[in-house]
Amino acid sequence: MKVAATIVAIVCLAVAGTASGQTAIRAGEALPDELSPSDRTSSDGWRYDCFTLETREGALYSIDLLSREFDTLLAVGWHDCTGGENGDYERDDDGHGGTDSRIEIEGTGRTLHIRAQGFTVQDAGRYSLWVRDIPAFSSTARYLRPFIHSGRTVTGKLSRDDEGADAEYVFDCFQFDGQPDQRANFTLRSSDFHPRLTVYRGGRCEGDALASSDGSSGASEVSLEVNPPTGGRHSIKVWAGMAETGGYALSLGALQGR
């Protein structure tokens, strides 16, 4: 971790908390708060605050947790604010740079639960939580979209304008919701390039791969079955061999029990 980054100056907007101790926040708001010994704690001892965001289906959001007083850890999910205790959360501890956190996520029309905490059980102090809309035309929005649903096929085209174009391999990134008690079966077909698939936790096609398949040499179709170890948002990378581009069709079969 780097030394704490400078916090952007923001206007503080007050909102009322719910009876359950959750605080509602809307896109465009930046709320000040503080982690203190009186806050709720998780089963493993971390103190945290809980916020809720009513999302719009297909809308894109950037969520930042900023503090000069402690190393932040941000978690978001669609279940509740128990975070790691139910395993369906996406987490970040330095996405905004230094010790500040950022998560970018696509809305589903449901309530998003946001958990603000420190990186260690000892962390405490003042912080700000900032939620913003991501414009649909921005490069970030293009990177987060689209979402692939079970039983559907999406078509696309890898080109030198895609993510990774400055490297040897270009790729497209799709999000899907994984469940730990279900198998997700993907099939990628292309007559233009050697198809390859890789699955990740979270919606960014980043980090350690959960599963990957590149088929056999010269194949025009590749399949990949994934058993997500936890629920929540996952992503699948559609990519090709070095310098390859062209059209493709990606299918996600109906989710099946293990």
Residues of the chain with pLDDT under 70: 1-20, 83-88, 94-97, 136-146, 161-168, 217, 257-258
Say what the pLDDT of residue 208 is: 86
Residue 140, C-beta contacts closer than 8 angstroms, at least 6 positions apart: 60, 62, 104, 134
Residues in the chain: 258
Alpha carbon distance 47, 135 (integer Å): 33
pLDDT tens digit sequence for 55-97: 998 788 889 999 889 999 998 988 888 754 444 678 887 655 5
Q: How far is CA 9 from the centre of its chain?
A: 25
Say what the pLDDT of residue 217 is: 67
**Helices (H), strands (E): how many in the chain?**
1, 18
Residues linked to residue 131 through DSSP beta bridges, in sequence order? 63
pLDDT tens digit sequence for 145-162: 567 878 888 888 888 765
The hierarchical CATH code for the domain 146-257 is 2.60.120.380
DSSP labels, 3-17: SPPPPPP------PB
Q: Nearest 5°: phi and psi at 141?
A: -60, -40
Global pTM reads 0.53
DSSP labels, 173-237: EEEEEE-TTEEEEEEEE-SSS--EEEEEESSSS-SSEEEEE--STT-SEEEEEE--SS-EEEEEE
Say what the pLDDT of residue 116 is: 93
Say what the pLDDT of residue 50 is: 93
Say what the pLDDT of residue 146 is: 67
* Residue 182 near residue 175, CB atoms below 8 Å: no
Report the topology of domain 23-133. Answer: Jelly Rolls (2.60.120)
Domain(s) of CATH 2.60.120.380: residues in the chain: 23-133, 146-257
